[in-house]
Amino acid sequence: MNHIATPAAATTSATSAAKHEKYVPFAPVKLTDRQWPNRTIEKAPVWCSVDLRDGNQALIEPMGPDRKRAMFDALLKMGFKEIEIGFPAASQTDFDFCREIIEGGKIPDGVTIQVLTQAREELIRRTFEGIKGAKRAIVHLYNSTSELQRRVVFGLDRQGIVDIAVAGTKLIKQLAAEHPETEIVLQYSPESFTGTELEFALEICEAVMETWGASAANKVILNLPATVEMSTPNIHADQIEWFCRNMKNRDAAIISLHPHNDRGTGVAAAELGMLAGADRVEGTLFGNGERTGNVDVITLALNLLTQGVDPELRIDDINEIVRVAEYCTQLPVHPRHPYAGELVFTAFSGSHQDAINKGLKALAKSNHGTWEVPYLPIDPQDLGRSYEAVIRINSQSGKGGIAYVLEKDYGIQIPRRLQIEFSKTVQRIADETGKELAPADIHNAFKAEYLDIDAPLALIEHSTEPRGPNSGARVLNVVVSRDGVVSTLKGSGKGPIDAFLDALRQGAGIDLHVVDYREHAVGEGEDAQACAYVEVKTNDERTLFGVGMDADIVTASLRALVSAANRASR
């Protein structure tokens, strides 16, 4: 058996502190007068989806015909005008799919398909067989240009790499002339651009442009891929700006970005690359791709939306896009994925919930259309999501979130001090279960604590009558059950609440003093209920709440006092 020594094996005895010494920092670009930091993104780039090619090749189970069609249809629905549909010369599945959508008339007017090919004659010729009959196609030619690959993979000098690109360009130009029924756009990628000396990347790209005869009327797409993300995003931006500023014929090229996410900063690199002068971005839905993935087009597009820029993609049903992407890739979208994850519009923290609740209410009362809600950078409804899932309850939650759930789902608008009181009940339940509480769990806990109390006192019926002519007072006759014994109590006061307090004091020895009273309707029309809240103080100086609900507002108020009396007796 042969044993191959690896760097890890060779340095097993080395201390972890020395591991960094085998890595070389990425050299910065000498660009002292860089302009990109002072710019803002004011329009969307030209988007090109590479889900069906770059994304597909990274899947454990590459897409078959059904999943390819589902992805293609989803991309069309979102509004992509350029879609890389595959590598027809390298895969029979890709070739067949290319023929299917061309022969089947599945490519709408205004949409351009893109196909990838290496700079090899047999592959280029097979590519043209794949796109035969298309109205317009981007032929994406690439060869690797980085210093590392020139040295350890190809064993070629710079001129040898340039010759490969030029030969491929000449053949594409020849075949394009032989197929005038198809408008051919050339795209060239110096693969591993980020690992290529800038002056050499520019040299080879300009050689391709000259061979093609690029002009302002016949632009070449120069795709500058971060095939491996190797530097911080600011250096990537410097590379793009240097390239754009040093080109001979900038107006003859569309500068395209193809970031990967090896350092976890693909989105940032793309945004800074756009600031630096790029016109176009290639990426995938939710960032699927080799290793850590391609740049995430959904995140990029919605970042633009939050800055007041039209992303020029339709993302108004994010749940449907997630569903299709998960079906096609057989990969889950992470619950914390920006904008799209199941939990990204969900607050569990009490302070966050309270702020969101107040922000939504303030927004509803405002007269302007500007989105301003704490902790929510985008309106979930713009993405087809609802507010119902914004606030969810667990042991980290607070009063604001609990109040939001009760009001949003059940129309119960509990006063602030009651929010504080009831939050302790919810906290105890959440701590005991260790789980998230559904809205129904919160509602059931509220009913058990305030409305459906199995306690000594129960209201059966009541009636009122004037105490005397012009007295302004009312006499309340109320039938109650106390510890199973039915009795009639009588009290008087300025209103039913005052009279019931008097009746409880005289007939039951229950002495309560009302600190605050509130009421509101729950629902509308004939099915509407009144919800009454009383905050009372007991003789032992405790302050607590009672809640009552009934179709009749007086009955709801008396039930609230019964609720408070029962809770005081615990």
Say whether 258 counts as a known binding-site residue: yes
DSSP 105: T
**Distance separating alpha carbons of residues 222 and 190, to the nearest angstrom:** 8
Rounded percentage of the chain residues whose pLDDT exceeds 90? 69
What is the share, in percent, of the chain residues with pLDDT greater than 70? 93
By the 8 A CB rule, do 408 and 364 touch? no
Q: The dihedral of CA 337, 341, 343, 346: what is its sign?
A: positive
Angle at 26 between CA 24 and CA 29, to 5 degrees: 150
Helix axes 399-410, 439-446, angle to 10 degrees: 90
What's the pLDDT band for 145 if we cut at 50, 70, 90?
very high
pTM comes to 0.72
Lowest-confidence pick of 415-429, 456-470, 485-499, 535-549: 456-470
The pair phi, psi for residue 12, each rounded to 5°, is -55, -40
Q: Tell me the DSSP string of 118-177.
A: ES-HHHHHHHHHHTTT-SEEEEEEEEE--HHHIIIII---HHHHHHHHHHHHHHHHHHHH
Q: How many DSSP H helices and E strands does the chain contain?
A: 18, 14
Question: Hey, what domains does the chain have and what are their CATH numbers?
Answer: 45-329 (3.20.20.70), 350-448 (1.10.1220.20), 453-569 (3.30.160.270)
191-222 pLDDT tens trace: 999 999 999 999 999 999 999 999 999 999 99
> Could you report the per-residue pLDDT of 30-43, keeping only the tens digit for each?
999 999 999 999 99
What backbone torsions phi and psi does residue 115 show, to the nearest 5 degrees?
-130, 145
Q: Residue 197 and residue 210: Cα distance in Å, rounded?
A: 20
Beta carbons of 164 and 185 less than 8 angstroms apart = no
Coil, helix or strand for 532? Answer: strand
**Rounded Cα gap, residues 11 and 20, in angstroms:** 12
pLDDT higher than 70, residue 468: no
In single-letter form, the type of residue at position 340 comes to A
Task: Determine whether 207 is exposed, middle or buried from the number of CB atoms within 10 Å of its CB (0-12, 13-18, 19+).
Answer: middle
The single-letter code of the amino acid at 151 is R
Torsion (CA) 395, 399, 400, 405 in degrees, nearest 10? 70
Neighbours of 557 (CB within 10 A): 22
Asked if residues 393 and 402 have their Cβ atoms less than 8 Å apart, the reply is yes
Residue 51 marked in a binding site:
no
